[in-house]
Structure 1
Amino acid sequence: MDSVKFTLFDVDRFWTGFNDYKKLKVDNREHDFFQLFRNEIPASIEKALKERQFKNLDHISIKASTGTGRISDSFWIAFLDDRLTTKGNRVSTQVGIYIVILFSEDGQNFYLSISTGTEKFSLSKIREQAKKGREFFAKQIQSNDELLGFNTNEFYLGKSERPKKYAASALINKRYNLFTFDEAQLLKDLITLNDLFYDYVYEHYLEDNNSQTQLDSLEKKKMTIRRVINVEKYKQLRREKEIANELTGKAAEDFVFNKEKDVLIKEGRTDLAQKVDWISSREDGHGYDIRSYFPDGTDKFIEVKGTKFKNSNYQFYLSERERVIAKEKGNQYVLVLVENVGNPNLTRIIKEVRDPICSISFKPINYLCSLTITEVNENE
């Protein structure tokens, strides 16, 4: 879709109003810029995103801020999923993770980013917590052409503490100039970043949150940025995660299924290629996804694990059934790890692990408990 000038907001009106508004010491709700920034721009962005079927928009509140009471050094427009950013009874940028547009103190530049809540944390602690996320997103930028122009460098918003914290909490960002940016590209980048955001939430953030909410060490709680998710809202996200993971898993299995046949054909074993069986496409519970063959005709039992991301630190789950079958089949059982699932040009097998029971580390995360009640005392 071609860019239309002033579809989202009138840049000249924005610039004039911004400079006039910055001269004030406190918010003025009657000021033209207040109405433009806090109400009109979020509404026009929401309208444009509805037309483009922006993922999970029904859960997202688009909020803008010029400061609470006192005029802030850095203005922002945040996209707050109520299941990830609820504090008390309202959505807030102080907790959780969200997409946000951050404006520099001079108003000439703004940054589209994924950021985390910074409530009550020092600048150094925010930077420490953001480091792992930035390393992760840096890998995605290298492998995804749609993230052209994005980076993970810390940027300058303003000289005071609050803008510094905003910039430090950004895990990935892209810079735009107020006078030269293209609206169509900005909206395209928003959609791309939103898709990336939810893939990250489903595959990583929820898992990190699940482990962190179970911390019983006061010291660890003090060290970790708070991730609070309402129980019912968390269930919704978990259901979405399960659906997303199932789709990713099936796509990875399909990729490996076809790759197995290609490899056998190249090895001159067309007879074996014709017998490769994608078992999990029609039934579950075997403890592996694909029955294939090594070129010498030996059975090959393949369990596939896929991710939408490029990631050197690969974490995944094995069911008890998969673990038992892997142990039983030994060197015939192969764990196949696939990255960049969903990107036809970049999907690839990053590792094949034969006899994974002897090669990977296991960490139990649940316990099956039983209790036999021999007698019930009605007086208790």
Structure 2
Amino acid sequence: MTKRGHLARRLAVFTALTLLLTPSAAAAVGPYDLLASTSPGRTNAVKLAGQTVSGSIYVFTSPNTSDITRVRFWLDNPQMTGAPRQTESLKPYDFAGTNSDANLTARPFDTRTVADGQHTISAAVDLSSGTTEVIQGTFTVANAGPPPAAFADQIHLAWTGSSATTLTVVWRTLDTTVPSVVEYRKAGDASWQSASGVLRTSGTQGTLHEVTLGSLTPSTAYEYHVRSSASEWSGISSARTGPVPGPADFEFVYVADTGLIGRADGLATGTQQVRDEIAKDNPLLVLGGADYVSFDTDTRYGTLEKTIDAWFNQMQPVASRSVFMPTYGNHETVLGEGFTNWAARFPTPDGWNGRRNYSFDVGDAGSSRSCTRPCSATARTTPRTRRSAVSSPRSSSATASSS
């Protein structure tokens, strides 16, 4: 059981939305039930079973009788096998845990971390008599509908050619008729140039676009936007080209084992802060160290492809401004995932063995990215290269520095 004080200190970011209440289903058998509220104070609670919910809600058991010794919670595991999602040994008994403030307010369950549709919360209420009451509530998650047709997401940058004179832009649209077009200009210029590309085959819903911008000026800041519909563009993003071959200073960040924000087991507690620190530092290059989503232990989004979609959207604040060059690890090659699923999303130099191994240069610095079981990566850098470092994404804090 995690101590209340520790829970209060853990990094969590939630935005409360709306709980849509519908007529309740019949109460669970026995004296105990699962209730849901839109308030951390658990006010105006209703029976969870049969509800349609969205955003952040607060789920707890009731009543808090004196003979309860422990309550264990599971999500979408009606057989209640394996470790519970949450264990509460002190009242009140909250599905997402309890804060350590004076009022012992409930922590939120962000329904946006699961797919829309039906879900079931199960609770085992252990009593001092040695018996256990099992209660369950099946409810429907109905968050915002699909993005509008005029929508571009998963925007990220790569180098498939010279790091000094090219930039490759990848993005997704749900509308499969949107042309693969990028407009770009040097930062500060008034007029746009245009480049067209190709569709990139992948397992994502909609279409993945790839456009390579060529004949760029080395060590130069550019602005760009991508087609989000036949007549509309995404917001303007910034990017930079690398230096010409030779001694040069630039910043890069290495990041690995990110996980997806909102994991129930807390293993991605620091991911949002690490991502935001990298975005703030705005390095030229980010080297991905693999094990990005750990789908074998985080299936909130239902399928691997939807989980990969979520990761690219999570990393867009970084990857739309800094070139991201990946390594593939054991999670991307085994453990319920697949190299081809990931490689379809990341453009890289051709390399060899189906792009499992490739290399690229930035100035006088070279990076060899290799994939084995498990994958590994090595980087060769000159003494003049500056490196930005951040703490592990599994930490609840992050720092960024240059040397």
TM-score norm. by structure 1 comes to 0.28
TM-score by length of 2: 0.27
Task: State the structure with more CA Rg.
Answer: 1
Structure with the largest fraction of helix? 1
Comparing both structures, which one devotes a greater share of its residues to strand? Answer: 2
